Amino acid sequence: MRGILNLNKPSGISSYDCIRQLKPLFKPKKIGHAGTLDPLATGVLLILLNEATKISRLLMALPKEYEAEIKFGMQTDSDDITGTTIRTSPVPNITHEALAELLSERFSGEIEQIPPRFSALKVSGEPLYKLARKGADFTPKARTATVYEIKLLEWNPPVARIYARVSGGTYIRALCRDIGLELSSAATLNSLTRTGIGEFKIAQGYPLAQLLNSKTLPGELLVPIEKALMHLPRIFVSREQAQALVQGKPVTGIFPQDYEGTPIVVQTQDNRFFALAKITNRALAPERIIYAK
């Protein structure tokens, strides 16, 4: 059994809690996820079973979609409503139209953001949240993120509801905090739902409680690895070429030049071999064998 489970995570538990509860259902040799969600957050959490854990990096790089509530007038140490309030400020006196324009003009495209102090990013091997809990004095380094689209869905002071489609590695908590600062106010994340990761949408997600009470065969719930990577270029090879790739040998042939240097899915027509490769010097070089049988 291998594949990706589109889980609709409930609020109040961690991503690891979801994995822990799903283990007895799927009984996998390996299990992981592609992009954690904080306990406060709900929505799409991709659970990876067995060989699917090998494509975590590729799934985490996919654009992500969120709906978030921003509460203005307060800032917390965690940048969300679960944290301790560290600053208050008057709620900005701004119209729906003006706020929508500010989001579009100042928070779309490539932006710089300082990750939340309470995050899983590591400094010298230690997660930031552990340093923050110890009371360490530090400021996380700014990172570049991309906001492909941001829209104001509702403005009912002191709460705004937004939609954002962003690159992997973008912190919506930090985005909310920075919107407050841009308005000479304060703001924190009030609630968050991840509505999509690439082609995985919340409408097709399975609620955790439904899964735990389901009598459906677990394997029927999984998206195949092959389908999850449909966004990547694909080359079919013979069994002999596949065997060479398994042995780490490059394969020569006539390959599209515009694929050179980009991740490519390589598989056989009988779907008994599936790997990631790159074209280098006109040869197909193996990068990672996902499965071979």
Quote the CA–CA distance of 251 and 287 in Å, as a whole number.
12
In the residue annotation, 137 being an active-site residue is answered as no
Choose the catalytic residue: 17, 38, 178, 258.
Answer: 38
Active-site positions read 38
